Amino acid sequence: MKALLLLFAAAAAVWPAPPRVLTVDINGVVHPVTVEIVGHALEQAKREGAELVLIRLNAPGGLMEATRQVIEKIIASPVPVAAFVCPSGGRAASAGFFLLLSGDIAAMAPGTNTGAATPVLISGEMDPIMRKKVESDAAAFLRGIASKRERNAELAEKAILESRSFTYKEALDNKLIDLVAQDETALVAALDGRKVARFDGSSRVLKLTGAVLEAYEPTWRERFMQAISDPNIALILLVLGALGIYIEFTSPGLIFPGVAGGILALLGLSALSVLPINWLGAALLLLALALFVLEAKFASHGILGTGGAVSMILGAVLLINSP
Q: What is the pLDDT of residue 12?
A: 42
Q: Is 181 helix (H, G, I), strand (E, B) or coil?
A: coil
Left (φ > 0), alpha (ψ -120 to 50) or beta: where does 68 sit?
alpha
pTM of the entire predicted model:
0.85
Kindly tell me if the per-residue pLDDT of 97 is higher than 50.
yes
SS3 content of the chain, % helix, strand, coil (to 5): 55, 15, 30
Decide: 104 and 96 in contact? Cβ < 8 Å: no
φ, ψ (nearest 5 deg) of residue 93:
-95, 155
Amino acid 164: pLDDT? 92
What is the reported pLDDT for 155? 93
The arithmetic mean of pLDDT across residues 248-268, rounded, is 88
pLDDT at 79: 94
Residue 103 in this model has a pLDDT that exceeds 50: yes
Q: What DSSP letter does each residue of 110-160 carry, written as one string?
A: TT-EEE------SSS---HHHHHHHHHHHHHHHHHHHHHTTS-HHHHHHHH
CA distances from 158 to 61, 65, 150, 308 (A): 17, 20, 16, 51
Confidence class of residue 9 from pLDDT cuts 50, 70 and 90? Answer: very low
* Torsion angle in degrees (nearest 10) through CA of 281, 286, 292, 298: -130
Q: Read off the pLDDT of residues 206-247 as tens digits, 9 standing for 90 and up.
A: 998 988 999 999 988 888 888 888 888 888 999 999 999 999
Instruction: Please give the average per-residue pLDDT across 100-117, as a whole number.
Output: 94
Residue 56 sits at φ, ψ, to 5 deg, of -90, 115
Q: Over 60: is that where the pLDDT of 257 sits?
A: yes
Q: What are phi and psi of 62, to 5 degrees?
A: 160, -175
pLDDT tens digits along 193-209: 999 988 888 889 999 89
Q: For residue range 139-149, what is the model confidence (pLDDT) as tens digits?
A: 999 999 999 99
pLDDT confidence of 7, banded at 50, 70, 90?
A: very low
Give yes or no for a contact between 287 and 260, defined as CB atoms under 8 angstroms apart.
no
Q: What is the mean pLDDT of the chain?
A: 87
User: What values do phi and psi take at 176, rounded to 5?
Assistant: -85, -30
Strands (E) across the chain are located at: 20-27, 52-58, 81-85, 91-93, 105-108, 113-115, 165-167, 179-180, 195-197, 203-205, 212-215
Percent of the chain scoring above 70 in pLDDT: 93
Is residue 50 exposed (0-12), middle (13-18) or buried (19+ Cβ within 10 Å)? buried
Give the list of residues 6+ apart from residue 211 with CB closer than 8 angstroms, or none.
18, 19, 20, 21, 51, 52, 188, 192
- pLDDT exceeds cutoff 80 at 40: yes
Q: How many residues does the chain have?
A: 323
Q: What is the structure's pLDDT at 176?
A: 94
pLDDT on residue 122? 67
Residue 49 per-residue DSSP state? T
Is there a contact between 264 and 240 (Cβ–Cβ < 8 Å)?
A: yes
The pairing of strands 105-108 and 179-180 is parallel
Tell how strand 81-85 and strand 105-108 pair up. Answer: parallel
